Structure 1
């Protein structure tokens, strides 16, 4: 390290010298700064960019959303250490400062801590720019722990992220210390900090030292706990006593009570152990109520809360007091609450004590999920607030700018975060700290805008534990969670404000509730005839009456790590009675799903509910979440009427710190948001040091639509209906009345033998199970097209039968729920509820048509005769073409349907939606010979299945395809079970497989694809082909499936065709009518512009942005002002003509 004389020379040379000439001098300033610190100067840059690990002007490549690549330059880069960006003399890309880009007045005496500090938009821009550079680093360069922003001749600002994920750098070490003025370089500890930033940044990670201190304390507490239990004290009594002890140790170190006073008291008691119990008990009584503590010989503030309500102390011997005095000697300001709770729980639990120190969850892992779930949305909100305030300040509305930042602070202090399986509170504490760090930036901005007076009135309005909500079944863990939260909050208060908070210091927020988060029921023990409790293994049996889902408290975010119990282990681990009640409370979860999926599904339901305050949820789950038994829950929620999307996923990630004698736990992380949205798929590409306190996890990231199996695939949700498919597909009829079903014994009573024409009205009728299992040979009375008078005149027996069955039922339904549909059904009571006239029209003249069961385990298409009436649970396709049947029966359409459709029912079977699966599906354009080959195979396939099902009465279509699925998964015939082998032999399943394999090859050829194309790639190509076909149709080229039927009906004007075909596109006037209005409020205007930039797939000009709103070009001035503010703070990149949101490529 350089001498103090070198530091003085550096300060004297640069302090106050530069103002507006940063770009001309930053290289010289930084080089001389390294000399003053005694660290190496940057290396000369090499022509080979990959070798430039410590250089000025390091080139990185920015890839825009449109795929365009731009070269950018980092002012100073040191690989794995930091990215440094110097404040600009002006906004980059402008000959002069762009519209409104003023930086605010310079401090009168730069480089000094006492100088007046002002709102400096150029420093904000530099920080944002540096964080973007981190994301653009080349492959193999891990995100560095530090981002440094330099105001030449004035100060350095430090921002840190020790997670190494490149997301959300925070002020380091806190709001009070992140800005280092030139005069601060005189302090040795500041120079040491900067030297570490340059040479060994991980040495500054506070979690490393804190985790060691925390573990050592926990070991000492465990020893005391063991000794007290050996004397006969109850485990829970010991646990509560030790929690009071350790909070008192903490209180003295943060000077809530006299610093060192409690340690001195313990030293006195070690010499005279009999004094311990009364004097400590009296101290805790004083802390509970506020008053004089005789042991400390001092007044103590009122703590209250729950910790000192029981102020009793246990009698200790000299050795036990010595252990506690040793624990009190540590600096409790350095305890890490993020792991403190978990280690304390082990220390206090006899069954867990042996595992103390063996494994815990590193803080960086917890942060990774909390940042993605909670902090990324909050920081996006803060960026919008900053841009709004910058625009207002630039327009001379300083008071309004101050109000905008205050408004964000108020919303931040009202933001609630729920952990519904909070355990000992590590997720809640990490969330609290990160929100406090963000609050520090907000308070700094308030001070910059309005000076210290801008902070007046905020003393009692701050981010605090009342916003962190927890649900926990274990009372001890819940108490530890509350303790950890308060320790963390008071640590932060001591670091950033000092002094004692307002009394009572511990508020009784009751934010941690002791309850079961996934099951609520009335419980009673199951007893035998003699009244003795029955047992289920080690536990007493419990009857759960009225099992139901418990209410969760409202929150804006939900995050946590629910328990890991595999579905197959639920009965054994939780008891059969509990497992049965759990499944009864949530029948939408299949019984094979892991326990964690009950939390995931509950949060998903809350997220999708109309009017829900929940913005995002994120959970740690088993890494089997992408496998079929868990995936069904995701698919059902992602494909529901109110869909949700996974906006961040890590499919496979290490979790707990590995013990020497066991492997590390592997998990997945998923974060969800309402709506259909793209997400970030992050995958572990390197992991090292998993058994250490500082594991290295390097992640890659891809963006796109994340599928339920946690892969990135085609965005099939963006596919639109094709005119070529219009009018052909429809659900079958919906009866709305059991009286329409005609049993064989009812036919004569309806008058078939004496009422001419009635026999033609009694038609074969099929529903889903008729096709997947065995047909019932049911018939339905179909009177569509007849008036009530004609039915009464021509078919009086049928009229009377329906009048006393269907009409009565519909009248009851209308009385119960008088909706318009119910009224219409009652008015036309002799006709099916949904008779499907369009489908009847499309089937006219066909001898057969294609059907599939709407919700089915296997996606199978087949021909039905035109005389058969399809039920609503069948999806009909009005074509008799075997070519169409063949394409629909291919693995490519099956994959498309799976990606496009939803999941339905307790069995979570795939659902075939005609509007999402058939209408947008682009059929191939085959040669005549290709079409003929596909048709021939499809005819043989349909005939083969019908033949074996007719010859073998015990076979079912589902049974055939269950065995086929086993073979396609790689099983040999010899691997089949005896039952499967019977189906294989009776159903000639090998032939079924060969026909499907041949069909897949031919359909691939018709598309021009290789036969072995992975289905994920096929779905992506089909989505692209849908877009291509839509462009063709817009130009007037339509590849009709049944031109003779479709063209006369759907080619007469595009608007009419859209209406008839149920297309999602609309006439231009309708589109214009749906455009949003440009908001009137400043903050809402910023949000609207950011959303429009997000929606744009490429850089966009101001005029095009204005066209996205109803006001059009009239909104241009406000949009320009908003874009200029976003550009000034570094949130938007601009070429001078077009704009693109940064960080959202």
Structure 2
């Protein structure tokens, strides 16, 4: 079909919505030369089931990983169509594009996570243009080409940077810092409001442009606009200005401006789309840039929403989701009986009893949402509060959608809103910024989800965010906290020794006196928030709390506060050792949820796993506190994480082979810098046969002498690396981002080494030749003896590592780390890494002090490995091959499937093997465990020995070793 034929067929076409939708789409596919929907699981018409209350399902057309498409009759409201797609995006696997169409207009909305919506509208007449057809075709073939250039995080950071420079310039010439900050926050909100059309389009930008360099004129007009926004029924020139209020424009004080200031403000207003700023980081970045008291640099990282969600999810989302599911179940039981009955008056109908009961249940849940309160008693610039409000909005939206599917018709107006959140913040500017964060984020949520935002005023007062000290009143008495359903937050991290220098001796003395007997002397500042929250729970003013603390809360004086929590309520959620960013610095924290918010049948979760009671040291093993385990000197300098590349240094096998034959000006083979590489997938699945370019620590000049690899890195790595935020990575673009010289030195002492995937469902160790380069996804043990391999693969080391590892991923797979899992593990006496270290010039494994038990372990380990290798690569299915280039360079042979066995061999992976755990594998492991138990001197060991007993013995051995000098 030609563009002319398509336009003629569908311009002013009289077919109704249903009759024309699929034919229009099919003709469009013919025009673009793309496939038509034919696959119900991946690309189809009418994705989703019919709703119980009538109406179609989730999308008129859907293509997995590409788009959801909704058709309307010409002239219909495409915003309503977009809302339907937005409502059901989760059911549609969150496609990156949402397309709405009325046959004469096609609007492509971008929905990439973390990126703004940059809609592209294509009118039917434009389809005669190749550019318009190509844009539309990308939706079918390559949606990534439609991804916006900048993420919302990048846009927000750039905006914060511009305002930070402006604020610094104004402060440097003597303007009072808080006055400047308040004025600039008002300006940025105006920029947001005009882009969201809350203000007349372009009004603030035009004000600045028309003022030019006349600072007096600009100041007067800005003041008049701010005043109009503050008033109900305000006006500015010919424009009626909506009532904003909310406190943001209560105080209007324009600082002295320069022509440079005006030009900078105009650039910011004109050049940026302020709708795209990210409220999850907005407050943090603008506080750092605008607040003269902020200590963290603007470029510092911010804590990601996924980490914050580890508290928002169990404290806000999960309990309310449980409540809604119970309500939904009751409504669903009534739904088959929904109907209308005739009233007493003529043509009067009313809901029957079932429908009335369903509406009552729904309204009851909405009332629950409306009354729910979340308190952040150290709210800072509001990121926790905004994410809590977003969670409430999302839950209510889910209830709206579910209710419609069940046959109810809830009003479009939402019952959740900024009134749901409460905050305490000692920094006045941070409190103001928290309010602005919540206002902007909530307006964005409403606009993007198709729900009405607040009006008259647009900015509802947020008096619940209170500027005051959360711990002490001005007279030194204990501060009161408002009653709330839950608390979430990130209280300040100040250690005992730092508190006096930061807060002053008088404040610290008063604080400790006021909280005497409840918070021990020497405890960190953050513990006072934990004790206050515990007290609120005990007083019946709170159901649950989720707070962040440095991971030192698990020990010393700090742990006394958690002991009080465990004694009076329970810890139901804990992440004991997480990464966090505080004042721009990376720290390790614990995330702790406590209180009776859940019914008793909700299991406690530690590191994402269901456990029994969680103790004050954030462990859950009965009577065993493995947190007290120490690093052992005998295990040091043995285990390493592979290098982090930070760039596409990997190359296909074919390219590597060509390079191995090429000469270089230095007379050296490219095999010096091009080697096979393994990552976690090579261990848990099948080897990928990928190679890597690694210049180690070479200078640019030395690296350039390896011509072909260096040219490749120049072309494929350099363009991105020179933009890297880290100066060292940008300047040394030809090197790995995090090289591992100590690892490389250790591997030169052994012909092979032990490796395990850092993250893996099963703790599996394998042998790798030293010529194979490990990736950052591998943890390496630089030993070549079978005894070490066997001990690591024993039940004892597996239990120890699972107890001290971290957990992550959808499946909560354990992460093995050298510091926590390896360096603390007590090997059998005489078989420690210090004992098995290769001696200089020694090619074979060393003779160990305990030769008989070492030989028994080694034999069992070799047997296990031989059986596994025979299963992974059966001789009947596999040929072991090597090219002349590989052989010359000393690289190992590779397994290749014999013709006809490719599919079978693909299934032979260590993950599949350990999932099945056949009898022969189980027997081999048990034989290995016996040999290792004998090395420990555990003559009473049996396979039935409880895990707790094994851990108790290993911890005792660790503590004994850690206190022994030498």
Aligned to 1:665: 587
**Superposition map of 1:1102-1141 within 5 A:** none
Determine if the alignment matches structure 1 residue 413 to structure 2 residue 386.
no
Aligned to 1:604: 534
Aligned to 2:269: 328
Distance in 1 between residues matched to 2:98 and 2:202, nearest whole Å = 39
Please say which of residues 105-114 and 264-273 is displaced more in the overlay. 105-114
Aligned to 2:614: 707
What's the offset of the Cα at 1:677?
A: 5.9
Distance in 2 between residues matched to 1:356 and 1:417, nearest whole Å = 29
Distance in 2 between residues matched to 1:707 and 1:418, nearest whole Å = 24
In the alignment, which of 346, 353, 359 is matched to residue 402 of structure 1? Answer: 359
What's the offset of the Cα at 1:434?
A: 2.6
What's the offset of the Cα at 1:559?
A: 0.6
**Superposition map of 1:1039-1058 within 5 A:** none
Determine if the alignment matches structure 1 residue 618 to structure 2 residue 559.
no
In the alignment, which of 566, 569, 576 is matched to residue 651 of structure 1? Answer: 576
What's the offset of the Cα at 1:37?
A: 9.3
Please say which of residues 559-568 and 320-329 is displaced more in the overlay. 559-568
What's the offset of the Cα at 1:300?
A: 1.2
Distance in 2 between residues matched to 1:617 and 1:195, nearest whole Å = 47
Tell me, which stretches of 5 or more residues in structure 2 are unaligned? 61-70, 78-83, 100-108, 120-126, 339-353, 625-802, 804-825, 829-935, 956-966
Once the two structures are superposed, residues 490-511 of structure 1 have per-residue CA deviations (whole angstroms, 9 ceiling, x without a partner) of 2334444588743122233411
Distance in 2 between residues matched to 1:129 and 1:340, nearest whole Å = 25
Distance in 1 between residues matched to 2:46 and 2:570, nearest whole Å = 38
Once the two structures are superposed, residues 1039-1059 of structure 1 have per-residue CA deviations (whole angstroms, 9 ceiling, x without a partner) of xxxxxxxxxxxxxxxxxxxxx
What's the offset of the Cα at 1:358?
A: 2.4
Distance in 1 between residues matched to 2:30 and 2:488, nearest whole Å = 46
- Contact 1:643 1:676 (8 Å CA) reproduced: no
In the alignment, which of 476, 494, 511 is matched to residue 582 of structure 1? Answer: 511
- Contact 1:87 1:149 (8 Å CA) reproduced: no
Higher RCO (CA-CA < 8 Å; seq separation 6+): 1
In the alignment, which of 290, 293, 304 is matched to residue 232 of structure 2? Answer: 290
- Contact 1:482 1:512 (8 Å CA) reproduced: yes
Aligned to 1:310: 251
Once the two structures are superposed, residues 935-988 of structure 1 have per-residue CA deviations (whole angstroms, 9 ceiling, x without a partner) of xxxxxxxxxxxxxxxxxxxxxxxxxxxxxxxxx9x9xxxxxxxxxxxxxxxxxx
Once the two structures are superposed, residues 1077-1111 of structure 1 have per-residue CA deviations (whole angstroms, 9 ceiling, x without a partner) of xxxxxxxxxxxxxxxxxxxxxxxxxxxxxxxxxxx
Determine if the alignment matches structure 1 residue 435 to structure 2 residue 387.
no
Determine if the alignment matches structure 1 residue 595 to structure 2 residue 536.
no
**Superposition map of 1:661-810 within 5 A:** 664-674=586-596, 679=603, 681=605, 683=607, 701-705=608-612, 707-708=614-615, 709-713=617-621
What's the offset of the Cα at 1:376?
A: 1.8
**Change in CA separation of 1:190 and 1:409 when aligned onto 2, cut-off 3 Å:** farther
**Superposition map of 1:190-229 within 5 A:** 209-229=151-171
Distance in 2 between residues matched to 1:5 and 1:655, nearest whole Å = 59
**Superposition map of 1:91-490 within 5 A:** 103=52, 105=54, 111=60, 113=72, 209-294=151-236, 296-329=237-270, 330-350=272-292, 352=294, 355-396=297-338, 397-448=354-405, 454-455=410-411, 459=413, 462-490=415-443
Distance in 1 between residues matched to 2:31 and 2:560, nearest whole Å = 61
In the alignment, which of 534, 557, 567 is matched to residue 496 of structure 2? Answer: 567
What's the offset of the Cα at 1:267?
A: 0.4
- Contact 2:287 2:381 (8 Å CA) reproduced: yes
**Superposition map of 1:873-888 within 5 A:** none
What's the offset of the Cα at 1:312?
A: 2.6
Q: TM-score, normalised to structure 1's length? A: 0.44
Aligned to 1:552: 481
Aligned to 1:168: none
- Contact 2:376 2:487 (8 Å CA) reproduced: yes
**Change in CA separation of 1:292 and 1:15 when aligned onto 2, cut-off 3 Å:** closer
- Contact 1:85 1:148 (8 Å CA) reproduced: no
**Change in CA separation of 1:110 and 1:620 when aligned onto 2, cut-off 3 Å:** closer
- Contact 2:519 2:528 (8 Å CA) reproduced: yes
Distance in 1 between residues matched to 2:539 and 2:295, nearest whole Å = 46
Q: TM-score, normalised to structure 2's length? A: 0.52
What's the offset of the Cα at 1:705?
A: 2.2
**Secondary structure, aligned partner of 2:416:** coil
What's the offset of the Cα at 1:39?
A: 8.6
Once the two structures are superposed, residues 779-824 of structure 1 have per-residue CA deviations (whole angstroms, 9 ceiling, x without a partner) of xxxxxxxxxxxxxxxxxxxxxxxxxxxxxxxxxxxxxxxxxxxxxx
Once the two structures are superposed, residues 877-930 of structure 1 have per-residue CA deviations (whole angstroms, 9 ceiling, x without a partner) of xxxxxxxxxxxxxxxxxxxxxx9xxxxxxxxxxxxxxxxxxxxxxxxxxxxxxx
**Superposition map of 1:857-872 within 5 A:** none
**Secondary structure, aligned partner of 2:181:** helix
What's the offset of the Cα at 1:162?
A: 5.5
**Change in CA separation of 1:450 and 1:377 when aligned onto 2, cut-off 3 Å:** same
**Change in CA separation of 1:198 and 1:15 when aligned onto 2, cut-off 3 Å:** farther
What's the offset of the Cα at 1:1014?
A: 3.7
Distance in 2 between residues matched to 1:33 and 1:650, nearest whole Å = 51
**Change in CA separation of 1:204 and 1:367 when aligned onto 2, cut-off 3 Å:** farther
- Contact 1:382 1:408 (8 Å CA) reproduced: yes
Distance in 1 between residues matched to 2:540 and 2:563, nearest whole Å = 22
Once the two structures are superposed, residues 595-624 of structure 1 have per-residue CA deviations (whole angstroms, 9 ceiling, x without a partner) of 2222122223323x264452x321222133
- Contact 1:263 1:325 (8 Å CA) reproduced: yes
- Contact 1:37 1:195 (8 Å CA) reproduced: no
**Secondary structure, aligned partner of 2:575:** strand
What's the offset of the Cα at 1:147?
A: 11
**Change in CA separation of 1:203 and 1:551 when aligned onto 2, cut-off 3 Å:** farther
Please say which of residues 213-222 and 355-364 is displaced more in the overlay. 355-364
- Contact 2:310 2:591 (8 Å CA) reproduced: no
**Secondary structure, aligned partner of 1:664:** strand
- Contact 1:567 1:595 (8 Å CA) reproduced: yes
- Contact 2:46 2:59 (8 Å CA) reproduced: no
Once the two structures are superposed, residues 194-251 of structure 1 have per-residue CA deviations (whole angstroms, 9 ceiling, x without a partner) of 9779967898699x62222211221221222122222321111111111221222222
What's the offset of the Cα at 1:481?
A: 0.7
**Change in CA separation of 1:1015 and 1:271 when aligned onto 2, cut-off 3 Å:** same
Once the two structures are superposed, residues 89-122 of structure 1 have per-residue CA deviations (whole angstroms, 9 ceiling, x without a partner) of 9xxxxxxxxxxxx945565999455799xxxxxx
Distance in 1 between residues matched to 2:26 and 2:614, nearest whole Å = 49
**Change in CA separation of 1:257 and 1:371 when aligned onto 2, cut-off 3 Å:** same
Distance in 2 between residues matched to 1:213 and 1:366, nearest whole Å = 21
What's the offset of the Cα at 1:561?
A: 0.9
Once the two structures are superposed, residues 678-720 of structure 1 have per-residue CA deviations (whole angstroms, 9 ceiling, x without a partner) of 546465xxxxxxxxxxxxxxxxx4222252333443599xxxx
The alignment covers a number of residue pairs equal to: 600
**Change in CA separation of 1:558 and 1:76 when aligned onto 2, cut-off 3 Å:** farther
Two-structure CA RMSD over aligned residues (Å):
5.8
**Secondary structure, aligned partner of 2:510:** helix
